[in-house]
C-alpha cells in the first residue's frame, strides 16, 4: 500500500529587517576636518636650483588661495603651472583669478560621464608626462584635498621628485605620503605676519640693537645698560600716533527755544506695498491686504525669474560661498556679500534689484537661509 506523501512546510517569510548585510545602506563617509601643516614654509621652500611644477585640483580648492600660492613660490623657476576643472560652470571665478597670474594655465576638463571625475584623471596623466619629460621638475606641488592622487605621489617620490601637498581638508593618506604638507589658511597667516614684521619699525630697531651689542665690548657696561633699556622699550613704542587735539573752548549756552504749538496727530498711513523698483519683498512688509499680497507675490516671482536668467550671478554666489566654507557650513550673509562685491565687481549691472541680500540667496535655490539671533546666516546646499 502506497505511503501518503508528506506535505513540505512552506518557508517562513523573511522580514525586511533580515536583509543581508551587503545590501544595507553604507554609512556616509565623515567629512574631513581641517588638517594642520606638518612642515614649515621655510622647510618646504629650502631647495637650491629647483624647478617647480604646480598642479591644482580646482574642483575642491578655491581660487582665493592663488595669491598665497604665488607668494610661496616667489621667484623660483616654474616648469608648469596648471589648474584642472570645468571652468564654464561654478568654477568661473578661476578665469578672473588666472588673469593675475599669467604663468597659470587653466585646463578646462568637463566630466562627460556622471560620477567620473575627468579632471582628476587629466591631472594625473599630466603629472606623469611632466616627470617623463626632458627637463622634469625637481619639485611637484599638488594643491588638492583629494586622496585619489596618493598613487601618483608615491610614484613621483620613487623617481626622486620632491613632493609638496597644499590644501585645507587634505586626506591623511595624501598628507603622510608627501614630503611636506602645508595648510593654505595657515600659510596665508604666516606670510601675512612675516610681511607685517618687515614693515614694523620695532623689528628694525631690534636688529640695530643686536648689531650694537655685538660690536660693543662686554666690558662697556654703560653701552650695555642703554641697549637693555632700548630692548625693554621696544614692545611699547608707538609710531605715527596722532597728536592730541586741544580742548575746544566752551561755548555759551543757547537760550531755550520757544515751545511750538502742539500738532494734531496724523492719520495712520496705509501699509506701503512692495514695488518692483524698490526690490522689497512682500514677505518683509506686514499688514498687507490680500490684493497687495497677490501683487507683491507676482513681483517677487518676476524678480526670481530675472535672477535665474542671470546664471553668472548664481554661479558667482556659489563660488564665493564655496571658497569661504564647505557646503553645509553656515556663513554670515554679510560676509558672502562682501566677498561677492570684491571678487566680482560690476556683476550687479542689469541685475534684478533686491532690498535684502538674503532674499537673493533664497531665490537662487542653492542656499539655505535662517536667522540666528539678530544675524542672518546662509549655507550652500550639499
Q: What is the CATH T-level fold of the domain 282-380, as seen in this structure? A: Arc Repressor Mutant, subunit A (1.10.10)
What's the pTM? 0.48
- Identify the weakest region by mean pLDDT among 212-226, 227-241, 296-310: 227-241
In CATH, which superfamily holds the domain spanning 41-193? 5'-nuclease (3.40.50.1010)
- Residue 110: the pLDDT is 74
- Residue 302: the pLDDT is 87
CA distance 53 to 225: 52
In degrees, rounded to 5, the angle at the alpha carbon of residue 330 between the alpha carbons of residues 325 and 331 is: 70
- Higher pLDDT: 290 or 259? It is 290
Q: What number of other Cβ atoms are within 10 A of residue 316's Cβ?
A: 20
Contacts of residue 222, defined as CB under 8 A and 6 or more positions apart, other chains included, come to none
- Identify the weakest region by mean pLDDT among 91-105, 208-222, 243-257, 280-294: 243-257
CA distance 48 to 307: 53
CB-based contact 43:120 (threshold 8 Å): no
- Residue 22: the pLDDT is 42
Give ranges for CATH 3.40.50.1010 in the chain. Answer: 41-193
- Residue 21: the pLDDT is 44
Closest CA to 90 of 111, 69, 70, 105: 111
- Identify the weakest region by mean pLDDT among 3-12, 112-121, 255-264: 3-12
- Residue 209: the pLDDT is 81
pLDDT in tens, 333-372: 888 888 888 888 777 777 888 888 888 888 899 999 988 8
Cα atoms found within 13 Å of the Cα of residue 305, Cβ hemisphere only: 7
pLDDT in tens, 363-376: 899 999 988 877 88
pLDDT in tens, 21-76: 444 444 444 555 678 888 888 888 867 788 899 999 988 888 899 999 999 988 88
Distance of CA 199 to the CA centre of its chain: 27
Amino acid at each position: 500500500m502506497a505511503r501518503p506523501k508528506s506535505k513540505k512546510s512552506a518557508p517562513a517569510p523573511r522580514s525586511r529587517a533580515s536583509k543581508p548585510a551587503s545590501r544595507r545602506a553604507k554609512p556616509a563617509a565623515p567629512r574631513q576636518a581641517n588638517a594642520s601643516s606638518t612642515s614649515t614654509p621655510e622647510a618646504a621652500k629650502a631647495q637650491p636650483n629647483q624647478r617647480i611644477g604646480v598642479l591644482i585640483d580646482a574642483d575642491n580648492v578655491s581660487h582665493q588661495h592663488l595669491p598665497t600660492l604665488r607668494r610661496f613660490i616667489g621667484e623660483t623657476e616654474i616648469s608648469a603651472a596648471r589648474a584642472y576643472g570645468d571652468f564654464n560652470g561654478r568654477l568661473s571665478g578661476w578665469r578672473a583669478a588666472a588673469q593675475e597670474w599669467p604663468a597659470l594655465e587653466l585646463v578646462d576638463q568637463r566630466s562627460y560621464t556622471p560620477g567620473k571625475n575627468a579632471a582628476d584623471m587629466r591631472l594625473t596623466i599630466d603629472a606623469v608626462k611632466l616627470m617623463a619629460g626632458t627637463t622634469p621638475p625637481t619639485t611637484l606641488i599638488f594643491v588638492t584635498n583629494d586622496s585619489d592622487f596618493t598613487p601618483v605621489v608615491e610614484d613621483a617620490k620613487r623617481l626622486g621628485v620632491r613632493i609638496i601637498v597644499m590644501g585645507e581638508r587634505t586626506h591623511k593618506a595624501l598628507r603622510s605620503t608627501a614630503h611636506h604638507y602645508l595648510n593654505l589658511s595657515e600659510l596665508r597667516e604666516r606670510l601675512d605676519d612675516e610681511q607685517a614684521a618687515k614693515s614694523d619699525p620695532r623689528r628694525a630697531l631690534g636688529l640695530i640693537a643686536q648689531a650694537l651689542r655685538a660690536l660693543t665690548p662686554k666690558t662697556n657696561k654703560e653701552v650695555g645698560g642703554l641697549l637693555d633699556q632700548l630692548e625693554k622699550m621696544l614692545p611699547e613704542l608707538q609710531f605715527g600716533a596722532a597728536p592730541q587735539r586741544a580742548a575746544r573752548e566752551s561755548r555759551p549756552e543757547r537760550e531755550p527755544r520757544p515751545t511750538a504749538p502742539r500738532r494734531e496727530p496724523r492719520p495712520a498711513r496705509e501699509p506701503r506695498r512692495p514695488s518692483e523698483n524698490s526690490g522689497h519683498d512682500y514677505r518683509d512688509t506686514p499688514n498687507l491686504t490680500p490684493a497687495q499680497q497677490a501683487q507683491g507675490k507676482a513681483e517677487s516671482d518676476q524678480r526670481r525669474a530675472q535672477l535665474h536668467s542671470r546664471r553668472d550671478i548664481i554661479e558667482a554666489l556659489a563660488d564665493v560661498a564655496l571658497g569661504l566654507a564647505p557646503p553645509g557650513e553656515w556663513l554670515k550673509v554679510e560676509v558672502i556679500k562682501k566677498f561677492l562685491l570684491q571678487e566680482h565687481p560690476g556683476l550687479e549691472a542689469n541685475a534684478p534689484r533686491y532690498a535684502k541680500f538674503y532674499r537673493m540667496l533664497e531665490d537662487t535655490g542653492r542656499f539655505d537661509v535662517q536667522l540666528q539671533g539678530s544675524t542672518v546666516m546662509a549655507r550652500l546646499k550639499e
